[in-house]
Structure 1
Amino acid sequence: MSATRLLVLGVVRGYGRAHGYLIGNDLMSWRAGEWANVKWGSLYHALKQLTKDGCLTDETVPPARTDYTLTAKGEQEFQRLLRDALRRPETRPDTLAAGLAMLPSLTREDAVALLRERLAALEARRDEAREEAAARADPSHVRELFGLWEHTADSGAEWTRGLLERLEAGAYPMSGEPDSPGAPGSWVILKLE
């Protein structure tokens, strides 16, 4: 899954209409280049590909700017990518990070359900790795690999339990709640003084 694709769709969705520089400026201010490997070139490639795929429409605005809007297909793709990012543990953290950046786009109930799926998958991975490490005899040093996977899954499960507790306690305004940034077109473009 592409974290860049999810982030680009999410930012366009958040603003309702956005140009490449606005999207990139937001993502770079979030330091997405570090945690999701988003670069200016990959951003513009994603915009072109998402437009080609029918997820975005583009419109040239004089003098030479292109604005993008989300299509119905783009909303479906955004929802699919966001839900997968939260429910499926991946080896690389970039998709989860992208999902967290767009978390308020979901209702609290949906986010909790998806994170419970993630928790169950992480606990299953932890248990499988533990069993594999115990059963592994030769070469003995390979047990360390399974130990690493067990530790990674266990710490991921612990973090997920904490996020679930915070969400269930009412943390963060989610879609449909007052002050939520989760509705399409709800983001405000900040004017710098």
Structure 2
Amino acid sequence: MQGRAHGYLVRSELLSWGADEWAHIKFGSIYHALRQLAKEGLLTSTDIPDWPGRVDYEITPAGDDEFMRLLRDALRHGNNRSDMLGAALVLLPALGRDEAVALLRERVDSLSAEQGDLVARVRDATSEKQERAHIRELLGLWEHSAASQAVWAHELIKRLEEGEYVMAGEETSS
């Protein structure tokens, strides 16, 4: 989102998102991750001669492709890690409005299928032996989580369709 950035700026941006609370990031590992992404060709690195030890990073076309793949997958799949969904929501404006809505509709479909499977598994767990019956509580928790996520996704879709948020390719209103 910043174009070119150094590790401290990346850390500051993550902190502004509250990522320290939901993404389980160890901030000391940011520099290692940036170096590794550069090694993999997903970022370029530039040493700053006037500032010894400072390295600026910029996303490459391959890095942009991987970023968009991860963003799309985090939005479309219902039962993924909360940190992946959190990151996708922070980065949602990188997508066009229509694509974001379509991906969220895929998420709702995924959650509905997951919910149906979990309802069947809760029913099966209820008929199991008493010593394993408590497992239905975990399955029930997951089923309720899928249901509430689907409601939330429907509400986000509605807000996007009503024009909330500035998305990729749109002008900001001043």
2:89 corresponds to which of 81, 89, 100: 100
Q: Alignment partner of 1:15: what SS?
A: coil
Task: Determine the structure 2 residue equivalent to 1:63.
Answer: 51
Task: Determine the structure 1 residue equivalent to 2:17.
Answer: 30
Task: Determine the structure 2 residue equivalent to 1:130.
Answer: 119
- 1:15 Cα deviation from its structure 2 partner: 1.3
Distance 1:42 1:168 in 2: 38
Distance 1:90 1:43 in 2: 26
Task: Determine the structure 1 residue equivalent to 2:144.
Answer: 151
2:106 corresponds to which of 99, 102, 117: 117
The normalised TM-score by structure 2 is 0.91
Unaligned stretches of 5+ in structure 2?
Answer: none
Distance 2:80 2:64 in 1: 26
Task: Determine the structure 1 residue equivalent to 2:3.
Answer: 16
- 1:92 Cα deviation from its structure 2 partner: 2.6
Q: Deviations for 1:110-151, whole angstroms, at most 9, x for unmatched residues? A: 100110111100011111111111122122222212211110
- 1:29 Cα deviation from its structure 2 partner: 2.2
Distance 2:39 2:134 in 1: 48
Task: Determine the structure 1 residue equivalent to 2:71.
Answer: 82
Unaligned stretches of 5+ in structure 1?
Answer: 1-13, 181-193
Task: Determine the structure 2 residue equivalent to 1:46.
Answer: 33
Q: Alignment partner of 1:67: what SS?
A: strand
Tell which structure's C-alpha radius of gyration is larger: 2
Q: Alignment partner of 1:59: what SS?
A: strand
The one-letter amino acid paired with 1:108 is R
Change over 3 Å in CA distance of 1:104–1:91 after alignment to 2: closer
Distance 2:159 2:28 in 1: 36
The one-letter amino acid paired with 2:57 is Y
The root-mean-square deviation of aligned C-alpha atoms, in Å, is 1.3
Distance 1:42 1:83 in 2: 25
Distance 1:63 1:154 in 2: 51
Distance 2:80 2:72 in 1: 17
Q: Which has the higher contact order (CA 8 A, sep 6+)?
A: 1
Distance 1:52 1:90 in 2: 31
Q: Deviations for 1:72-113, whole angstroms, at most 9, x for unmatched residues? A: 101101111110111112343100000001000000011001
Number of paired residues? 167
Distance 2:29 2:159 in 1: 33
The normalised TM-score by structure 1 is 0.83
Task: Determine the structure 2 residue equivalent to 1:3.
Answer: none
The one-letter amino acid paired with 1:97 is G
Task: Determine the structure 2 residue equivalent to 1:190.
Answer: none
